[in-house]
A and B are shown apart, each in its own frame.
Chain A
Amino acid sequence: MIEILSKYTPAETYFILKEADVGLKELMKYTLMDLLFKRVLEMNTEHKNESRGEKAKVYNYVRVGREFTHYKPLPHEMIYLSPYYKSKSIRILFQHLISMGIQNAGSEKKYIQNNFLKREEMKHFFVSSRFAIFFTRLNLSDRGRSEKESLLQTLGRVDVSLADSILNVTGKGRSDVSTIGGNIFLLEKARSKVLQKISYQLKEDLQRSVGSYDFMTWIAFESYEMLFNTIFDELNSSNTGSDSGCNSCSILYGVI
């Protein structure tokens, strides 16, 4: 029964559970977190400007992860993955990746219609009149309602069982985590514990492969969401500042 969760990415599960009444932000957030979770993408942190005596700034970069090459992307994931398929070695600032994702998605309506509703598994779950489509109002079909119910029940059961067993993620717990994948982000009780465990494991893996990994700047999985929310909201806030004009700075160089 738990296998039902392996059929959907967290963004898709969320889409069904919320009966399509979702925002672009949540869909984009779960999609990116899932790609990081599946290690299709990988994030690392760098400190810059230390050598110039300035206060160090923290830069988070996203590049392809170890699963990228074998991964078969879903249409709604391409808003993030597209540049990596064109230039596999590119690394992109986390801020830019979100900004690019928003641009590639087009709009909430476009993102939903071109990606979620066109997926074979999904298109029979919703019914809509032409008028309703115009306003992005969709209703669950009978099949959709039944799927939603199954998803809710399974998530609830997994949440309770993982919350009890996760302190030692071995055996069945580990297998469950691997089956439900990024849908872990949708769990209420077990989510935090599972993500702590997985973050720790990821950190260990990176330390093994990279060597001297900077633990002080490590961003745990739980922090991705917060970081995403901050950046997304900043990008969507009104920008009234000026982006024209320039000046000389020769005096500054004289001092240096």
Chain B
Amino acid sequence: MILSKHIESKRELWERINQFEFDDLDSEFTFSQRLARENNWTLEFTLRVLFEYKRFIYLICISDQPMTPSDSVDQAWHLHLLYTQSYWIGFCKETLGRDIHHGPTKGGKQEKEKHRDYYIRTKKKYQEVFSEPPPEDIWPSEEIRFSEIRFARINLHRNWVIPKLKRKRL
């Protein structure tokens, strides 16, 4: 991976994060498969999101300012937090050497503005550190990130999900 020069010294940390494995091969239903199923993602997209999640965590570790993930990356983070042994022991303690807590928004206009700014900053930092722009399908524009926020857990045994007709974006 091409890391910018001033980040080169943190290469070891990145290598540790990149080598971290979410999936236990003894499991018949792995972390990646669960993440894919719960979000109705393809496995390819899921694996790419997990890679972006690792990059996001790396950005948190090397920055002294708060960072905000894209929604897809946030979903990976949420699920990882549920695998407490993997997250707190394997990832935070043994891989990062520090605890990283997840802070949900407190709601309201000010919070929205704050997270919007963090998100823009995170994407800028991403480009600076990894020498490439964050992939648009996983890290969408801030307009999409903070407008398409209505999600629900749906029982697919009892319901169908039918996509809305695409509206022309203004």
Picked from B23, B32, B48, B94, the residue with its CB within 8 Å of the CB of A90 is: B48
- Contact A241 to B44, CB < 8 A, known contacts A86-B135, A93-B23: no
- Contact A104 to B44, CB < 8 A, known contacts A48-B21, A96-B32: yes
Picked from B29, B34, B43, B94, the residue with its CB within 8 Å of the CB of A103 is: B43
Nearest opposing residue in chain A for B19, CB measure: A46
Which residues of the partner chain A approach B28 to less than 8 Å between Cβ atoms? 239, 241, 243
Picked from A46, A90, A93, A249, the residue with its CB within 8 Å of the CB of B85 is: A249
Which residues of the partner chain A approach B39 to less than 8 Å between Cβ atoms? none
- C-alpha spacing A57/B26, complex, angstroms: 9
Query: A100 near B: Cβ within 8 Å?
Result: yes
Which residues of the partner chain A approach B48 to less than 8 Å between Cβ atoms? 83, 86-87, 90
- C-alpha spacing A95/B42, complex, angstroms: 15
Query: B47 near A: Cβ within 8 Å?
Result: yes
Which residues of the partner chain B approach A243 to less than 8 Å between Cβ atoms? 28-29, 33-34, 37
Which residues of the partner chain B approach A100 to less than 8 Å between Cβ atoms? 42-44, 47
Q: Is the CB of B43 within 8 A of A89?
A: no
Q: Mark B1-37, 1 if CB is under 8 A from A, else 0.
A: 1000000000000000011010101101100111001
Interface centre among B44, B52, B82 (most CB of A within 10 A): B44
Count B interface residues, CB 8 Å: 25
Count A interface residues, CB 8 Å: 27
Query: A91 near B: Cβ within 8 Å?
Result: yes
Q: Is the CB of A83 within 8 A of B47?
A: yes
Q: Is the CB of A90 within 8 A of B135?
A: no
Picked from B18, B25, B43, the residue with its CB within 8 Å of the CB of A91 is: B18
Q: Is the CB of A51 within 8 A of B94?
A: yes
Nearest opposing residue in chain B for A99, CB measure: B43
Q: Is the CB of A103 within 8 A of B18?
A: no
B residues 132-157 touching A (CB-CB < 8 Å): 135, 137
Q: List the interface of chain B (C-beta within 8 A of A).
A: 1, 18-19, 21, 23, 25-26, 28-29, 32-34, 37, 42-44, 47-48, 51-52, 82, 85, 94, 135, 137
Besides A83-B44, A96-B23, A96-B43, 12 other A-B contacts (C-beta < 8 A): A46-B19, A59-B21, A83-B48, A87-B51, A89-B1, A92-B47, A95-B25, A103-B44, A104-B42, A241-B29, A249-B85, A253-B85
The list of the 4 closest CB pairs from A to B, nearest first, reads: A243-B29, A89-B1, A100-B43, A90-B51
10 contacts between A and B (CB under 8 A): A83-B44, A88-B1, A96-B32, A100-B44, A103-B43, A103-B44, A104-B42, A239-B28, A243-B28, A246-B82
